[in-house]
Structure 1
Amino acid sequence: MSAAIPNPAIRETAAGRIGAEPAGLSASRREEAAARPKAVHFGAGNIGRGFIGVTLAKSGYEVVFVARNPEQIRLLREQKEYAVEYASESGERETVGPVDAVPIGSDKELARQIGEAELITTAVGLSALPSIAKALAKALEKRLDKSGGRPLPIIACENGIRASSQLRRLVFRHLPEALHEQAQRQLTFPDAMIDRIVPAQKNRDPLLIRVEPFHEWVVETGGAEPMQRIRGVKYVRDLGPWTERKLFTVNTGHCAAAYFGYLAGFRTVQEALASEPVRAKARAVLEETGALLLARHGFDAAEHDAYVDKTLERFANPALSDKISRIARSPRRKLDRSDRLVRPLLLGHELGLEMPTLQEAIAAALAYRNPLDEESVELERILRREGLDGALSRKLGLPRSHRLVRSVADAYDRLGR
């Protein structure tokens, strides 16, 4: 990976202070922005500003956000920068700039920005990719007509498996067939995995975003890489092992801690993990999924143990306050066969691995009740309508008589719910 590029637009400041210049760009900063390669990023939300935007700015890009919120767009355009605060003892802040913003519905302006871009990224949520694909394709159409063959990487930084590949299929549906061959030559969609905890928050400064210090961004090198290497990104040949490591450690561990914490009566994940019984349960789950990851992908055992330690430390960060209701929400989706709880259990079963604590976490997810969470309410209806064995049989995709169905049912019965 190339050396880090000095970036005068990122100014570290003392805790509690934002070293921001007056709104608007000076002539020197306008020249600085013009000299930088341009990255167009779809989504100015928590991950967009708190992870992708700051990382790209540190790598020397001018970042142009594509957004829907008119007030957010106005502020980004006027201020040309925003602050990121890190949830740590020091409370360090960074001011990120130069940045700009464009409404997703402004076809002409979006086409101009994408025509000048060296890189496109997204962080809109996996389910929202279809809603941006048409606007992206329309802007790309103009670029493909006159770009002279310049390659353009498009990276979907979403919490899902092979999101860039999914976005590629969506974009090609909206591109005229006559441009498909040219698009296949010029556009690449490297798949990626991202990881940073950004809690729900409301700040007096609407652009300020508070994030944990840890971050991980892994990009598969199957397609052409960004013209300028992104600082801090790990480039790998095969993203699969890294995606599973994150899904079966961070995602599995986070929701397991939330469900165990819910049963113990805690309000936040941080409170739950301050309790030794909950922390021990969460660690046991990650030891079980860790054995699976080592068996499937050959990760170094000591390095993976350190990764588990770091993951639990992140979850317990006292400078964050993650409500259990947020981390535990959508239990029906989290219990899907392809998701963080059931999939590692099924893969472990294929390898002959015993995962009793993961089975307890699945039982705890089935016992989660929140009348404000539609999926929780629907899951409760399914349990009443089909019974515990029927619901488990459907979720696991196994006969009611299967050993896994019976053992998870026994774990649920032990909860006394």
Structure 2
Amino acid sequence: MGIVVQFGAGNVGRGHIGHIFSKAGYKVIFADIDDQIISLLKEKGYYTVRLIGETIREERVEDFEIYHIDRDRDKLIEYISQADIISTAVGPNVYLSLAPIIAEGLRIHRPVPTNVIACENFYRSTERLKEEISNYLSPIPELIGFPNVEIGRIVPPSERGSLTVNVEDYDEFLIEKDKFVGPLINIKGLEFVDNFDLFWKRKIYTVNMGHAILGYLGYLKGYVNVADAIQDDWIRGVLVGALQEARNLLVKLGLDLLYIDGYLDILLKRFSNKNLGDTVFRVARDPIRKLGPEDRLVRPALECEENSLPFENLATGIAGALLFDYKEDKSALELQEKIKKEGLDGVLKDICKISPESPLARKIKEQYINLEKIKNR
């Protein structure tokens, strides 16, 4: 049917992107730097996707090849030049480094439409990749599209080096319709949307925000699993309150209720899925990034404040993040050092870009004091 070059053969790359396109008949070409997983996948010639819902089922993926990004550069450039889709899922701190090899393949691409998508978990990541590629390929041919994407399947960690990838049995893969070049592709689990920004905010302000609240408040109260944390009456109350605040904001911004209420009902069930085995440490990790002004907690809280909407529960989530001190998380330890040196006001100003005198900051500081009592019990 076509070729997909997928940079990153990790949990998202194999468990979501590779899985969806392979099922649709595409030949998937993985590119990675992990010698262990490259050798294993080459030797076995297949991997298993374990789809975890109320029940668990498995699907086997076989029609793929895998190459090393550096050692097999020429082979990958050849595949990029023929690809229908070029995708990345390697992490927000790494993916822009792929611009030179992608540009090299696009430079010799056959004169047919192709699309580059960055499946990285932050705002308009494909646009940023396009900007980086333009440093190596300018002008970029009009037959190459760069639609932003949003993926919503929960992918908890799998054992490193395992042939089996654990994923949530839920499809959410949205593509920015007006930036896609060529005929729209019809694949189960893939949806083209107008008003991409609103759908992106829906995901970040509900799925990612909700996970963060469960992670930070669950950690404070000593829970290990997300599905256990959501059963705590107080945590669930804060979560539901924060989702209501996000719902009010999304409606104010113009998203139809048709795309919100049912989505939130399903989301609470997804968070409660014990079979996923998702941990509070995973969803809370890297608090400095997650406390950023454009990220899952601070951005919706700031927008609520700007729109004169309630934000108390979002402020509680931010306060919980500021208290996250998990000793195996480098970012958490760095955050605690910053709080000791700069105080809460300094961290709110420097990391969150929240004015320390604002109503939002006052509420965060008030909730921080309240949550410290829970932490010290």
What is the TM-score with the length of structure 2 in the denominator? 0.93
How far off its partner does 1:254 sit?
Answer: 0.4
Cα pair distance change 1:265/1:151, threshold 3 Å: same
Indicate yes or no: 2:118 matched with 1:153.
no
The aligned residue for residue 59 of structure 1 is: 24
Cα pair distance change 1:384/1:201, threshold 3 Å: same
How far off its partner does 1:232 sit?
Answer: 2.2
Cα pair distance change 1:38/1:396, threshold 3 Å: closer
Q: Which runs of 5+ in 1 are unaligned?
A: 1-35
8 Å CA contact 1:190–1:225 kept in 2: the answer is no
**Whole-angstrom distance in 1 between the partners of 2:146 and 2:352:** 32
The aligned residue for residue 204 of structure 2 is: 247
The aligned residue for residue 95 of structure 2 is: 129
The aligned residue for residue 99 of structure 1 is: 64
**Whole-angstrom distance in 2 between the partners of 1:344 and 1:66:** 35
Cα pair distance change 1:213/1:225, threshold 3 Å: farther
**Whole-angstrom distance in 1 between the partners of 2:274 and 2:17:** 24
**Whole-angstrom distance in 2 between the partners of 1:73 and 1:396:** 39
How far off its partner does 1:78 sit?
Answer: 4.0
The aligned residue for residue 11 of structure 1 is: none
User: Which structure is larger by alpha-carbon Rg, 1 or 2?
Assistant: 1
**Whole-angstrom distance in 2 between the partners of 1:129 and 1:305:** 34
Say which SS state the counterpart of residue 94 (structure 1) adopts. Answer: strand
**Whole-angstrom distance in 2 between the partners of 1:215 and 1:305:** 18
Amino acid at match of 1:154: V
The aligned residue for residue 328 of structure 2 is: 372
**Whole-angstrom distance in 2 between the partners of 1:366 and 1:340:** 14
The aligned residue for residue 173 of structure 2 is: 217
Indicate yes or no: 2:263 matched with 1:307.
yes
**Whole-angstrom distance in 2 between the partners of 1:398 and 1:157:** 28
1:222-265 residue CA offsets vs partner (Å, 9 max, x unmatched) = 23146743332111122100100000000000000111111211
The aligned residue for residue 75 of structure 1 is: 40
The aligned residue for residue 8 of structure 1 is: none
8 Å CA contact 1:198–1:212 kept in 2: the answer is yes
Indicate yes or no: 2:298 matched with 1:342.
yes
Indicate yes or no: 2:224 matched with 1:298.
no
Amino acid at match of 2:291: L
**Whole-angstrom distance in 2 between the partners of 1:396 and 1:68:** 34
**Whole-angstrom distance in 1 between the partners of 2:256 and 2:26:** 33
How far off its partner does 1:212 sit?
Answer: 0.8
Amino acid at match of 2:220: L
How far off its partner does 1:303 sit?
Answer: 4.7
Q: Which runs of 5+ in 2 are unaligned?
A: none
8 Å CA contact 2:292–2:353 kept in 1: the answer is no
How far off its partner does 1:43 sit?
Answer: 0.9
How far off its partner does 1:355 sit?
Answer: 1.4
**Whole-angstrom distance in 2 between the partners of 1:227 and 1:312:** 32
**Whole-angstrom distance in 1 between the partners of 2:368 and 2:209:** 18
How far off its partner does 1:91 sit?
Answer: 1.8
Say which SS state the counterpart of residue 4 (structure 2) adopts. Answer: strand
The aligned residue for residue 75 of structure 2 is: 109
Cα pair distance change 1:358/1:59, threshold 3 Å: same
How far off its partner does 1:74 sit?
Answer: 3.1
**Whole-angstrom distance in 2 between the partners of 1:79 and 1:228:** 30
**Whole-angstrom distance in 2 between the partners of 1:400 and 1:131:** 36
How far off its partner does 1:396 sit?
Answer: 4.6
**Whole-angstrom distance in 2 between the partners of 1:231 and 1:290:** 27
8 Å CA contact 1:153–1:226 kept in 2: the answer is no
8 Å CA contact 1:38–1:116 kept in 2: the answer is yes
8 Å CA contact 2:323–2:372 kept in 1: the answer is no
Say which SS state the counterpart of residue 363 (structure 2) adopts. Answer: helix
**Whole-angstrom distance in 2 between the partners of 1:86 and 1:348:** 36
Cα pair distance change 1:186/1:303, threshold 3 Å: closer
Say which SS state the counterpart of residue 80 (structure 2) adopts. Answer: helix
Cα pair distance change 1:294/1:186, threshold 3 Å: same
Amino acid at match of 1:161: Y
Say which SS state the counterpart of residue 93 (structure 1) adopts. Answer: strand
The aligned residue for residue 168 of structure 1 is: 130
Cα pair distance change 1:79/1:358, threshold 3 Å: same
The aligned residue for residue 279 of structure 2 is: 323
**Whole-angstrom distance in 2 between the partners of 1:392 and 1:70:** 41
**Whole-angstrom distance in 2 between the partners of 1:128 and 1:135:** 13
1:234 to 170, 187, 191: 191
**Whole-angstrom distance in 2 between the partners of 1:71 and 1:364:** 37
How far off its partner does 1:53 sit?
Answer: 0.6
Cα pair distance change 1:368/1:217, threshold 3 Å: same
**Whole-angstrom distance in 2 between the partners of 1:125 and 1:391:** 25
The aligned residue for residue 148 of structure 2 is: 191
8 Å CA contact 1:107–1:139 kept in 2: the answer is no
How far off its partner does 1:109 sit?
Answer: 1.0
**Whole-angstrom distance in 1 between the partners of 2:355 and 2:22:** 52
How far off its partner does 1:72 sit?
Answer: 2.3
Say which SS state the counterpart of residue 250 (structure 1) adopts. Answer: helix
How far off its partner does 1:90 sit?
Answer: 3.2
8 Å CA contact 1:56–1:231 kept in 2: the answer is no
**Whole-angstrom distance in 2 between the partners of 1:408 and 1:155:** 36
Say which SS state the counterpart of residue 174 (structure 1) adopts. Answer: coil
